[in-house]
Each structure stands twice: as C-alpha cells, then as structure tokens.
Amino acid sequence: MGNDVSSKLSGPFRGFAEWPQSRANAVLQEFKDKDYDFCVDATTVQALLGGASQCDATLAEKIVDAFTNGSGGQGYLNVLSLICGLIIVADGIPSEKQIAVKAAVCFNAFDFNETGDIELDEMTILLLSAVRALMVFFNIGEDPTDEDMEQITLNAFSENHKDAAQGITRDEFVGYVGKHLEESPAMANVLKRFKVIGTEAEYHEGRKPSKAQALPSADATTARAEGDQETRPEDIIGEVELPVEAESGRTYVHEPGATPPGFPRRPEAYVSKYLSEEVFVKLMDKRTKTGCTLDTCIQFSLDSPEAQVGVLAGDAECYAALPELFESALGYHHRFTRVEPAVFQHLDADYNFTSFENLGIDNPSAFVKSVSMQVSRNVQGFSLMPRASLREKRILERVVWNALEFGGKFTRGVNEAFPLDAWAKSHGMEGRGIYRAEGLEVMVNHHDHMCMKVIESGAAVKTAFKSYLSKLRSIEDTLMLHGHSFAYNEAFGYVVSSPELDLGFKVSFELQLQHIFSIYASEALSEMCFKRLGLLVSPVSAGDSRTFTSIVRRGLSEVEVIESAIKSAYELMRLEAALQESDGDAAVFESQVTKLPATFRAKRIDGKEEPSVAPVADPDLSKSFADVSGCPPIAPGSTCALHKVLTPEVFAEAVAAEADGYFVEEAINPGVVDPTLPVGVVAKDARSYEVFQGLFDRVIETVHKCPADGQQQTVDRGFRLRRLEGLSGNVVSCSVRISRNIEGFTFPSAITRGQRRNVETIASQALMELYGEYQGVYTSLGDLEGDPKLELSSATLASGAARDWPDARGVHRNFTDTLEVDVNVDDHLAFCVTRDGADIERAIIQCLEVDKLVGEALGNVGRAYAKSDRLGFVTSNPADLGSGVTPSLKVLLPVFGDVGFAKCVALCTQMGLSCDQAGDSLVVVSNAKSYARSVEEVTQDLIDGAIHLVDADRQEAEAIAKAEAEASRKAEEEARRKAEEEARRKAEEAIAKAEAEARRKAEAEASRKAEEEARRKAEEAARLKAEEEARLKAEAEAEASRQAEEAARLKAEEEARVKAEEEARVKAEEEARVKA
C-alpha cells in the first residue's frame, strides 16, 4: 500500500510509508510519555524512532538535516512536525476512514492539556507542523506562512460557528479535514488544499501559491457536488514527479513581518510579554552543555501561562548561554535593568535600620505580628530543580542537611511543606524535605536546592537580620568545608531557577490591618501594593493577618531590600492609622492612597557594605553527575543479591558506564527501596545488561552460582525426566512459567505508556492465534474486578513496573484454566501452565509449545523474543535469564509447610531452589538457578530437590513423631508422679485439717469454759458487791436515823431549855413587877 507514496518521498523518509499506523501512533505516545522537548537533536530522533535497531545514527542525522535546511544533522528539529509527517504518510495512501484516524491522532498531538479541544493558536501550529512535514518529506515548495495557516484555522472555526476565544473539538477538526480533503487524498492534493501549492505547474516547480488562493468555498463545494469536474487526488499522485532539490546548506533567515517557526503564540503567557521574535531567532538554536535550550527555559510559561516571570533556568549555564532571554525576563519582572556586575554584600549585622518608631508609628507591634527574611540558594555543580535528576536531589538533600547545624529536625517528604509548582513536582516528595529549628525553616529541593527562612515575632527587624546573616554564613562555611559552594554568576548574581537573582533575598512582614482589609477587596489590595509599594500580598491567614513580601530585589543589597520593605510596611501602617482616626472613612483612605508614589522604591544606601568577596569559579558543566555521586547504603543483615555485590567501586564503575537514557540508579532502585528482595536489580531492556555489565554479571554470578559468560543451552523440547514416581502422592500440582520480552521494546520497569499499549496489542493478537487446548480469552486487568491478578507484589512495585497500573496489562486464560499468559506485568509475556498432580514433564511440554506458537505468531508480524547469545532469553529480572523457564511444584510437606518452614528455606537455598508457603502445609518449590542450564537440567534439579524435601520432611515428621512419643511418655510419667504427689499432698492436707479442727474445738471448749468461769466470777463479784453496797447502805441509813434522832433530841432539849429560861425570865420580871 505504501509503495506509491514511498517512491515520492525524499531519501531519509521513504521507509516511513511502509510503517503501520500503529507504529507512528506509538512514536507520538512515546513523545508524550517521556516528555521530550519540542526541539530535539539527532540522538533524540533516533531514540524516538525505536533506537539503533530501527533508526541508525546516519538516518537520524539525515532527517534532522532535511528539517534544518542543511545543518549536517547537528541542528534541532520540531519534533511535533516530524511526528505529524509520520502519522500522515504511514500506511501509504489513506482511505476515507484512515483520514479521520490520522486527523484525530494529529489533533491529540496538539491537545496539550488533554481537554478534548484545541485553541486557535494550537490549530494553527498543528497545520504549520503538518504542512511543514509534508514539504520536507516530499522535498517540495517553501514553508507556509503563519498568516496562511491562521486564515485556514479561522475558516475552520467559522464553519463550526466558533469564535477565536473558543476551542474546536476533535470531531469538528476531523470533520473539517475530511470535508476539504475528500477521500483518498494524494499528498500533492493535501498541499494544494492547504494553499502550500497552487496549480500543478506550481507543484512541479515547487513554488509557493499566492495569498489570494483560498480554501474551497461553500459555493465551490456545491458546484463540485453538481458535477463539476476536478482532477482526482489519485490522478495527481500517479502523474506528478516530485522534484529533487539540491541539498544545499540553507539557514533560517528571519524575514521582517514573518513569525519564526516555533515562536510561542500564547499571548496570555507571561513570557509573551517580553520575549521578542528577534531574541527568539537569535537564541533558538543555542543549548547549554547539559542540553538546556530556549524551548526548555520558556516551556514552563507555555504550560502555566498565568505564572509570573515565565522563564526558568535548567542549569547555571543558561544565564550565560541565553543572556538576552534572562535579561528581558529580569527587566520585565524587576521593572529595571542593571548593567554593572552583581556583588554579594557581606554586611554588618549591627546595621541600624530605620525604625517604625522613627517613622512615626508609636506602637508597631500593634500592626506587625512577625518579620521574616528568606533567601534561595543553589549548590554549585548540580542541575537546577527544573532538570535535576532523582539522584542529584538525593545527594543534594544530604549535602544541604549536613550544612544545617542549628539543633533542628529534618523531615523528609512533608507534603504540607511543598506547595510545588507543576515544574517542580517531578519525583514527587523524593529527595525533598524541610528542616525546622527555633525561628528557622529551610526547605530542601523545593524550587531551589535550599530556601532558608528566618522568622522573628513582632517588628524585630534587626534581630531577624542578625539571625539571617549568621545562619546563612554558617551554612556557606560548612558547605565550603565539604568542598561545595553556592552557584554564582558574575553578571547575574546568585543563580536560582527563577529570575529573582543577585542575592535571591526577600523580606516579609505579617501585618494586622483590619480596616484596610475590610475596605479593600483582595485583588484591589494586591494591585495597589504591587504598583505603589513594591509588595506582594498573601491570602488571609489565621488571626486576620496577611503577609506582605518585597518584590524589588535586583540591584539592591539586603539592607536596601529591608529598608524598602520597612518604608512600604510603614505606608500601610500609616494608612491603617488614618482609617482608625477617621472611623473607617473610605474617602480619607483613598485620598491617602493617591499620595503614594506610582512606583515605590527605597534609595540606594552607600558606604554601608564591607568589601565584596570573590565568588567561587563556575562549575564545569561538561562533567557528568557521576563525579559527585555516592554508593547507596546497604541495609544491615540484607540477603539481597545486590547488596552482596554492590561496593563503592562497583557503583562507581556502573556510574562511569552510564549512557544516554541508562542510569544505574534505575537499575538498583528495587534493592535500595526494598532490601528484602532476593535479587534487587532490574533491567530496563536488553542493552542494560551490556551497559552495566560489571554490575549485572556480579549479580548473575551471585544468583545463579556460575560465571556470567556461561554457554547458553538451547530450549530442548525432547527430554525425559527421572524419578517422577518419587513425587507421587506428595505433589498437589505442578506449573511451568516462561518469561519473555519482545525485542525492540523497553521492559516493563521503564516502558512508556504508549509502548506498553503497543506491546499489549501485539501480544494479545499473537495470543488470539493459539488454538486447541490453548485457545482462550484475553482480558484486560482493569476488567477483572477482585481478581488476585490486580494485587501488586513488592517486587513489581519496587521495580517501577507498576506505573499506570493496571493500564495495558492483561491475562489470557484458556477455557480449562490450565494456561495463563500475563501481559506487561514483570515482563512483556509470562506463560504459565498449571496441572494437577506431579506431571511436570507434560506441563513443560505444553508451556514450551505455547511459547513456540506465540513466538511464531510474533515472527509473522516481524517481531521476535529479546535474546542474547551470552545471556539467553533476556528478562527484567536477572534470576530468569537463560531459558527463562521456571518450573515449580506445589508439594505437601506437613512439617516444612508449617512449623518447619525456616528449615525448608535453608535446605532449598543449599540446593539452589526457592520456596514459598502456600497454606495448608503446602510449599511451592521452584528452581532459582536457570542461567546457562538446559530446561531438563533445571527441572531435574527441581524434581531431585523436591524428592529430597519430601524425604527430609518425612524424616523430620518421624523425628517429630518420635520426639512427640518420648514427650508423651515423659508427660505420662510426670502426670503419674504429679498424681501421687497430689494424693500425698491431699492426705497430708486432710490430716492437717483434722488436727487443726480438733485444735480448734479444744480451743473453743477451753474458751467456753473460760468464758463460763469468768461469767460466774463476774456474777459472784456482782453479788458480793451488791451485798456490800446494801450493808453499807443500811449502815448509812441507820447512822442517818441515829443522827436525826440525836438532832431531834438536842433540839427538843434546847427548846425546853430556852422555854424554861423564858419562863424564868417572865416569872422574874413578874415578880420584880410585883415587888415594884
């Protein structure tokens, strides 16, 4: 089908017409998965088109040369243009249905945000890229203009009733292309339709059409429908001979009024505000030693058009290689440029800053909650964060952490500490962390290698500055002691990813300004502070406060930045005080705001700095990162094969062997992440075993107990196994697993989504050709709800093969459930035949037969298994190298399958086997050594080992039974002895109890008698006491009676005496009277 087209294609592109459409689509998916730059060189083109096996270096250079007008293959081409060309010419002349497919795939290539629609600019670039590709592929005409393609895009939007602010959907785009290209379009007709060529004469001559030519109008379409004749596309492709242009060295010349190819066409992107076409043209072909280009630096702005600055440096050399870009960015961002070299100011920590009190704020603490000072730094010799590898991040994490000697705590991977932008999110939280001490926060590998923030409560500016200087100098001194320094550029200052250069310093005040906050909406306040005070405003935080941060940094020392921020904060406090005095009168506030200068900036302060210190020399960016690498630590007690062979010398050898796209870090990651894995290394493809041969050979020798250069045995399908009868009755089931990978594809540990889907398509189609007892159904894992296949093993997770799980993975099961074929799990294909009983020989024959049938099916479509003369069938895991055949037996081992499993593991290790518990006293035994050995040898060793395990388990069971019998006898004897002892004890207890009872009764009787005697004595004593008391009472009463009688007698006598005396006196007186 593709021959008619391939004969018209120019030299390096002729083979692409023979490509199936799926292969061209896979290239697009590969581009998306690996996130290539839009501008790529010949090496990247070779990798993208399938590596050396599919596209050699010479062909890749010719392709680049064709796109770059004679650069000798050393230039850079627009990769999306190349991909569009591949999609269009693949499969030759397309049918009507294929037109829709090709248009849809091209659309997907430019749907960068995967929203299902593309904007006007994106469609214009799509058309430019596609037409440019056709011009190059067929070596005709001149490049179309932006105006031509934009007019076509406007027509498409108009036909679909869309304005420029809306997007056009894929269906609308496909419909538009189909409508205007008709069915079976020749390439010439494609170009003619899109105004790249006009008449056939112009097509022959390679001339560009006039701008007056336009797409067919609706009237023209109607006229054709009514019968007007027009040259058919197939007629053109059959008649027209494509001219061959001289391959002269043409270079791009920027014509006035023309837009250079690749120039960003997103006016809303920040970079579009200052990047001119002249600067773009001047820098478009430049690149740093580490591969950073203009496209790399501005891509962030195109991906995130709302972001400030809009340009990022991938390494320190970017500032020197692309000075016009960064000067423009700095000038626009900082609002002024500076021509003198940057100087780091080592300032006096006792500098007396302008105080708020001197400015007229009596109580600044009423407004200022805290002051903070923040500085960003990068360590010299490492890539900056937009391009830093995971290994670099991990080493930087250690380098910076070791320099932080402030008694704080370092926490790795704290999500809340990292509100990362999209460009900084690579590798997730790996190699990142935050260090916290009193009044100090240091974020490591955030947007830069280090971001130090010193915080003081209240308005203590001087205290904060002292702390800032002492801590920064301490970190720098410690880094220098360990041979590191901060990255510095004499023209731009301290190098950071985003153009906030010189000192990379900013100061912030957390202010409470309730009246201002109540009057000003957030956006209005931000605009006012930005334009008039040079401050950025944070959202509202706890306590109704906001943080105001300085934005004018370039050309100022730390002191000048702080002074500027102090004066800006003062202005805000003054406005707040005015509002308080006027009871929140907005008119008063607005009148005060208008008095602020249009742009606020403190004057330069002279004579306050110490002499500058010369910066350390720029790093040698030509050296690889391996120069500063370190061997990962080995977990104590690890049995992982990787840890047995990985020494600093072996690691350094592997790092030195790294090639493009091959990093030892990826190979050893499983063992570093999970030291319990038996092997711990993984190959990304067959070439990994050659690139890192020193490491992999040592692992192979450790795992397989033989040299890594052993002669590989062929897969023998005619053999007889011995001693199978010895397994009868002990083996519940047997299975055979064969691991295979398809040549030309990366292995699952590193495969891209697009490649994985291609592998699934190829594998599933091959499996559909199985017949007889092997015929079955292929099911995607995503459709298997609750199936054990969905569970990920720790090895799969650690190897990286679980990315996008379970996308493009599946399993083929035959109708008797004796065959399972896993696709894209640990390897591209894994065949597994399972049979009941011990007929392992039959299981091997069946599995090898399936392996052969699938291999033949792959061969029919030009594919084959990945294989090496030295290593045999190449697999992700070195343990499966060689034949790739792993037989296993599920053996009933009552002892080893339960309490004796540790001994089972030890025995298996001695015999070169591996084992896993399967529950219910079952053990799955497999052969761990298959490298350089035949299937018969591997399986026979398994059988012999299983028989040995059965015998050992039986002996262990007998020993256990004997031990249990002896233990039973001893237990019975002990029980008898204990019974006698118990009886004796009970008798003694009974006697003791009786004696105790008797003693108790005697004691009770004695106690009763004592109590009775005591009672009697008490009664006698009471009687005697009563008698004595009665006697004494009677005597007392008698004495009282006697005394009463005596008293009466004496009274009577006294009365008689007195009476006699009275009578005598009376008588005497009478006698005297008588006498008288």
- For residue 425 the two structure tokens come to 């999110």
Q: Are 373 and 636 within 8 A, CB to CB?
A: no
Annotated binding site for ATP: 733-737, 886-890, 914-919
- Say if residues 842 and 835 touch (Cβ distance below 8 Å): yes
Helix (H) or strand (E) holding 486: none
Question: HSE of 205 in the Cβ direction (CA atoms, 13 Å)?
Answer: 8
Which of 530, 567, 572, 571 lies closest to 551, judged by CA?
Answer: 530
Annotated binding site: 733-737, 886-890, 914-919
C-beta of residue 260 within 8 angstroms of C-beta of residue 252: yes
Would strands 885-892 and 913-919 be described as parallel, antiparallel, or unpaired? unpaired
> Tokens at residue 800, please?
């990286």
Cα–Cα dist 203/727, whole Å? 79
Residue 726, number of CB atoms within 10 A of its CB: 17
Q: Please enumerate, as own/partner, the contacts of 954-958 that have beta carbons within 8 Å and a separation of 24 or more.
A: 956/895, 956/896, 956/900, 956/903, 957/894, 957/895
- The tokens for 801 are 């093969």
Helix (H, G, I), strand (E, B) or coil at 501: coil
What one-character DSSP code corresponds to residue 545?
B
b (16+ CB within 10 A) / e for 962-987: eeeeeeeeeeeeeeeeeeeeeeeeee
The neighbouring-strand residues paired with 740 are 829
Neighbours of 902 (CB within 10 A): 8
**876 DSSP assignment:** S
Where b means 16+ CB within 10 Å and e means fewer, 162-180 reads beeeebbbbebbbbbbbeb
Query: Which residues are bridge partners to 737 per DSSP?
Result: 832, 886
Amino acid at 732: V
Per DSSP, the three-state class of 371 is strand
**Whose structure tokens read 């401050």?**
535
SS3 690: helix
**How many CB atoms within 10 Å of residue 479?**
20
Question: Which residues have a Cβ under 8 Å from the Cβ of 199 and sit 6 or more positions away?
Answer: none
| Three-state DSSP state, 928 | coil
Rounded CA separation 404/651 (Å): 28
Tell me which DSSP letter residue 533 carries: I
Question: Omega before 806 cis (within 30°)?
Answer: yes
165 in Cβ contact with 154 (< 8 Å): no
Of the candidates 787, 790, 821, 832, the residue with the CA atom closest to the CA atom of residue 807: 790
SS (H, E, C) 424-457: HCCCCCCCCEEEEECCEEEEECCCCCEEEEEEEE
Looking at the DSSP assignment, which residues form a beta bridge with residue 738? 831, 885
Dihedral of the alpha carbons of 636, 637, 641, 647, in degrees to the nearest 10: 40
Please state at what angle helix 558-581 crosses helix 461-481, rounded to 10 degrees.
Answer: 150
Q: How far apart are CA 833 and CA 844, in angstroms?
A: 8
Distance (Å, rounded) from C-alpha 85 to C-alpha 102? 10
The CA distance from 928 to 923, in Å, is 15
Q: How far is it, in rounded angstroms, from Cα 438 to Cα 901?
A: 52
